[in-house]
C-alpha cells in the first residue's frame, strides 16, 4: 500500500483523508512495514466502505488486513440505522461467525509429549475435516430450526457440553433475534451433514503449549501459565453461512436501485438496516451465528471425548469463544454520546475492554480474551481487549496473521508433504485429508503474526497476554 497519501496519526495508525464520495475517513492500523505490505486493493476497499450510507466515524483496517470480498479482510465499520445506515453481506463475509474457541486442559507439556502422535491420530480420526467434510449428526427439520435459534445453548441441551461453557461464549452461547425462516432451504440442506465438522481453508484444531507470557497478571486471570496445554478450535458456520452470504448478496445487488443505493463496488452489496431486506438478512445472519456457536460446541464435545481416551486426567473447561465475521448491534460512545450502532467485523475480533458489562464476571476486570490464530508453524496469541479500543475501532482488534499471498501462489511455492515433514522436524504434528490444503496454508503464506499483534498492541487495540506454540494441528 502506498504511503504517500496517508497521514500518520501514530506509530501504528494511518489515515486516508476524506475525498470525493467518502462520508468518513479510512484508518489503517499497522506499523510502516505492515502497511506497505498491504495490497492496494485493501486500501481501495477501505475507501469504498467509507462511502456507504450511515457509516459512523471511520472505515477501519486492522494490522492483518488484506483484500477481501467487498470489505477488506480485517475491516471494521459501524452504521447508524437512524442515519440511513446499511447492513452489508460482504461486510460480514461468507463464513458467518467464523471464530476461535480456546479450551484449557489442566495438562502440562510433559503430559502430552509422550502421546503426541497418538493424540494427533485420535483427533484426526474423530474430528471431520476438509472440503465437504461430513459428521455423524443429521438434523431433522425441527432440530435444524431449534439449532438456528438456540446456538450453543441448544447444543448443551442436547448433551454436547455443560452449562458452564455458556458463560464463556460470546452472547452467552445464543444470538438473539435469529430468524430461521429467512434462511433458504438450500442453506439448511447444505448444513444437515456438516454439524460438528471443521471444514477446509484456514480452519483448524490445534493442541498448543502456552509459551511466553507478556502480561502475567492478565494471563493468571485467564488461567494461563507457561507450559500449560490448551486446545484452540477455529471454524464457522460451514455451508449454511456460505449459502446465506451467496443468497443475500445476490438479492442486495438486485434491490440496490430500489433503495436508492449507488454502490462503489457491486461486492459491497447492502440494504438499509430499516428495510425489509436488511431485517431479513440480519435474521438469517444471526441464525448463522448460532449455527457456528453450535458447531464449535459440538466440536468441543468431540475433543473432550478424545482427551478422555488418550489423556483421561485432562479437564477441558472453556477459556473463551469469540467470532470474527459478524454484524452486531452494540452501544458505542461517539462524540460523547452513546449510540446504538451495527458494527461489521470482517476478519476482525470484538475486543471489549476491562469492566464491560457483557463480559463474564470472572474475566471482567481483565478485559475480553481476544484469540488470535496464527499459522501452523508460527503459533497463536491470546490478547486482552483495552478500554482505548472503544474509541479507536469500536472495540475491535485483528483476528490472525493475515495472508501474505493467495492460496494459488502458496500451492505453487510449497507441497503439502514438504510442509508436514518440515513441521514434524519442529515437533509439530499435522494431520490433514488434503496435501494441497496444507500447501495453501503453509506458514510462509502468512504475515508474521508476532508483527501483527505487536502492531495491534502499539495501536492500543488490544494487549498481548500470551503466545501459544502448536504441538498438534488437525487441518481442513
The three-class DSSP label of residue 22 is coil
Please give the grid coordinates belonging to residue 465.
497476554
Residue whose C-alpha cell reads 477488506 in the numeric block: 72
d(CA 398, CA 29): 9
| Closest to 450 measured CA to CA, from 467, 462, 463 | 467
Please give the grid coordinates belonging to residue 399.
483476528
Residue whose C-alpha cell reads 486516508 in the numeric block: 16
Q: Which residues contact 265 (CB under 8 A, 6 or more apart)?
A: 45, 48, 70
Q: Which residues contact 302 (CB under 8 A, 6 or more apart)?
A: 126, 127, 196
Strands 429-431 and 369-372, sheet pairing: unpaired
Note whether 222 and 279 are within 8 A (CB).
Answer: no
d(CA 347, CA 446): 14
Burial class of residue 339, CB neighbours in 10 A (0-12, 13-18, 19+): middle
177, 332, 399, 408: the active-site residue: 399
Q: How many CB atoms lie within 10 A of CB 17?
A: 10
Please give the grid coordinates belonging to residue 196.
460438528
Q: Which residues contact 19 (CB under 8 A, 6 or more apart)?
A: none
H or E element: which one contains 471?
Answer: strand 462-475
Q: Is 177 a catalytic residue?
A: no
d(CA 437, CA 132): 13
d(CA 64, CA 447): 8
Query: Which residues of 279-336 form beta strands (DSSP E)?
Result: 318-323, 325-334
Please give the grid coordinates belonging to residue 165.
461453557
Catalytic residue numbers read 399
Amino acid at each position: 500500500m502506498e504511503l504517500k497519501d496517508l497521514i500518520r496519526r501514530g506509530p501504528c495508525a494511518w489515515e486516508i483523508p476524506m475525498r470525493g464520495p467518502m462520508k468518513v475517513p479510512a484508518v489503517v492500523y499497522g506499523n510502516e512495514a505492515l502497511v506497505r505490505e498491504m495490497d492496494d486493493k485493501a486500501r481501495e476497499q477501505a475507501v469504498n466502505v467509507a462511502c456507504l450510507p450511515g457509516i459512523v466515524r471511520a472505515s477501519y483496517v486492522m494490522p492483518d488486513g488484506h483484500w477481501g470480498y467487498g470489505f477488506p479482510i480485517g475491516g471494521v465499520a459501524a452504521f447508524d440505522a437512524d442515519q440511513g445506515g446499511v447492513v452489508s453481506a460482504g461486510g460480514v463475509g461468507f463464513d458467518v461467525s467464523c471464530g476461535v474457541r480456546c479450551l484449557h486442559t489442566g495438562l502440562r507439556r510433559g503430559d502430552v509429549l509422550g502421546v503426541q502422535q497418538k493424540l494427533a491420530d485420535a483427533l484426526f480420526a474423530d474430528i471431520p475435516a476438509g472440503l465437504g467434510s461430513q459428521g455423524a449428526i443429521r438434523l431433522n427439520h425441527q432440530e435444524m430450526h431449534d439449532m438456528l435459534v438456540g446456538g450453543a445453548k441448544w447444543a448443551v441441551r442436547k448433551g454436547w457440553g455443560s452449562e458452564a461453557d455458556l458463560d464463556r461464549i460470546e452472547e452467552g452461547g445464543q444470538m438473539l433475534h435469529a430468524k430461521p425462516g429467512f434462511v433458504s432451504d438450500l442453506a439448511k440442506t447444505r448444513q444437515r451433514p456438516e454439524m460438528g465438522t471443521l471444514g477446509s481453508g484456514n480452519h483448524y484444531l490445534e493442541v498448543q503449549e502456552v509459551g511466553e507470557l507478556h502480561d502475567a497478571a492478565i494471563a493468571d486471570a485467564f488461567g494461563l501459565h507457561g507450559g500449560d496445554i490448551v486446545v484452540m478450535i477455529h471454524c464457522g458456520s460451514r455451508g449454511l453461512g456460505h449459502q446465506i452470504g451467496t443468497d443475500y448478496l445476490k438479492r442486495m445487488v438486485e434491490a440496490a436501485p430500489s433503495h436508492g443505493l449507488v454502490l462503489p463496488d457491486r461486492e459491497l452489496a447492502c440494504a438499509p438496516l430499516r428495510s425489509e431486506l436488511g431485517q431479513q438478512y440480519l435474521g438469517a445472519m444471526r441464525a448463522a451465528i448460532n449455527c457456528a456457536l453450535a458447531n464449535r460446541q459440538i466440536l468441543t464435545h468431540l475433543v473432550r471425548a478424545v482427551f478422555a481416551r488418550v489423556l483421561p486426567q485432562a479437564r477441558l473447561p472453556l477459556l473463551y469463544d469469540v467470532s470474527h465475521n459478524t454484524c452486531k448491534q452494540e452501544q458505542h460512545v461517539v462524540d460523547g454520546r452513546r449510540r446504538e450502532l451495527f458494527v461489521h467485523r470482517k476478519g476482525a475480533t470484538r475486543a471489549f475492554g476491562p469492566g464491560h458489562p457483557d463480559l463474564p464476571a470472572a474475566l471482567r476486570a481483565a478485559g475480553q480474551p481476544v484469540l488470535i490464530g496464527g499459522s501452523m508453524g508460527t503459533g497463536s496469541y491470546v490478547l486482552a481487549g483495552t478500554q482505548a479500543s472503544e474509541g479507536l475501532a469500536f472495540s475491535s482488534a485483528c483476528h490472525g496473521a493475515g495472508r501474505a499471498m493467495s492460496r494459488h501462489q502458496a500451492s505453487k511455492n510449497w507441497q503439502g508433504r514438504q510442509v508436514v515433514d518440515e513441521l514434524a522436524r519442529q515437533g509439530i504434528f499435522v494431520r490433514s485429508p488434503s496435501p494441497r490444503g496444507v500447501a495453501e496454508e503453509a506458514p510462509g503464506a502468512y504475515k508474521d503474526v508476532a508483527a501483527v499483534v505487536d502492531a495491534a498492541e502499539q495501536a492500543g487495540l488490544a494487549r498481548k497476554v500470551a503466545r501459544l506454540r502448536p504441538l498438534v494441528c488437525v487441518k481442513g
